[in-house]
């Protein structure tokens, strides 16, 4: 996938997700309940005049500014939905124009789950794997690569580590 559009998607999603949910925290601090069984009718009972004060006091009513935050939340949620468009375009563009994966283990992971062929056969492995080391042995001495899969036999020149020595 294209890294630029991935970053655009991440930062737009990150920003609008916070703009959606942070005002909800403010509303909760001001006293708005989490779930409104009446759709907010009781909360909107307070009539706010142009001066920003409550015209007719209602017991347990929230200030009008707290209720007006819902408008900001709505537009931020719409923007969050629109922010998913770069991801969708990037995904389908990558499916049709991207480079195919050339390895069953493209991230050079050491664990057994990345040693299976793609697509995996019945039982996940073509043969039973023999585990000869721990899953996180990166930069093992005596190996040409930076990672050493769990099922790769040790080379004769490499010294045995304490975790792989027989008991």
Are 66 and 30 in contact by the 8 Å Cβ rule? The answer is: yes
Residue 138 has φ and ψ, to the nearest 5°, of -90, 150
Do both 78 and 65 map to the same domain? yes
Let me know if residue 159 belongs to a domain: no
Do both 80 and 34 map to the same domain? yes
| pLDDT (0 to 100) of residue 77 | 96
Helix, strand, coil percent content, the chain, rounded in steps of 5: 40, 5, 55
pTM, two decimals, is: 0.59
Do both 108 and 72 map to the same domain? no
Let me know if residue 165 belongs to a domain: no
Are 46 and 61 in contact by the 8 Å Cβ rule? The answer is: yes
Token output for 1? 């996938």
Tally of domains in the chain = 2
Residue 145 has φ and ψ, to the nearest 5°, of -100, 165
Mean pLDDT by 10 residues, the chain (167 residues): 93 97 89 69 57 55 76 94 96 90 81 84 85 79 77 64 52
Let me know if residue 83 belongs to a domain: yes
| pLDDT (0 to 100) of residue 34 | 74
Let me know if residue 18 belongs to a domain: yes
Query: What DSSP designation does 166 have?
Result: -
Do both 89 and 106 map to the same domain? no
Let me know if residue 122 belongs to a domain: yes
| pLDDT (0 to 100) of residue 31 | 79
d(CA 109, CA 152): 12
Do both 49 and 9 map to the same domain? yes
Do both 40 and 109 map to the same domain? no
Which sign, positive or negative, has the C-alpha torsion 138, 142, 148, 150?
negative
Let me know if residue 158 belongs to a domain: no
Do both 58 and 134 map to the same domain? no
Domain enclosing residue 126, as ranges? 102-153
Do both 76 and 118 map to the same domain? no
Let me know if residue 162 belongs to a domain: no
Do both 89 and 37 map to the same domain? yes
Do both 111 and 64 map to the same domain? no
Do both 50 and 126 map to the same domain? no
Let me know if residue 161 belongs to a domain: no
Chain centroid, CA 126 distance in Å: 32
Are 112 and 148 in contact by the 8 Å Cβ rule? The answer is: no
d(CA 31, CA 34): 9
Do both 107 and 76 map to the same domain? no
């Amino acid at each position: 996938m294209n890294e630029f559009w991935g970053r655009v998607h991440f930062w737009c999603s990150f920003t609008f997700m916070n703009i959606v949910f942070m005002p909800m925290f403010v509303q909760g601090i001001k006293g708005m309940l989490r779930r409104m069984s009446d759709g907010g009718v009781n909360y909107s009972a307070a009539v706010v005049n142009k001066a920003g004060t409550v015209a007719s006091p209602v017991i347990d009513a929230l200030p009008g500014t707290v209720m007006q935050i819902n408008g900001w939340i709505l537009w931020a949620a719409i923007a969050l939905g629109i922010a998913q468009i770069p991801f969708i375009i990037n995904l389908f563009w990558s499916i049709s124009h991207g480079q195919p994966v050339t390895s069953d283990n493209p991230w050079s992971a050491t664990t057994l789950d990345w040693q299976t062929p793609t697509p995996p056969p019945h039982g996940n492995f073509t043969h039973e794997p023999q585990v000869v080391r721990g899953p996180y042995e990166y930069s093992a001495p005596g190996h040409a690569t930076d990672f050493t899969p769990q099922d790769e036999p040790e080379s004769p020149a490499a010294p045995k580590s304490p975790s792989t020595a027989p008991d």
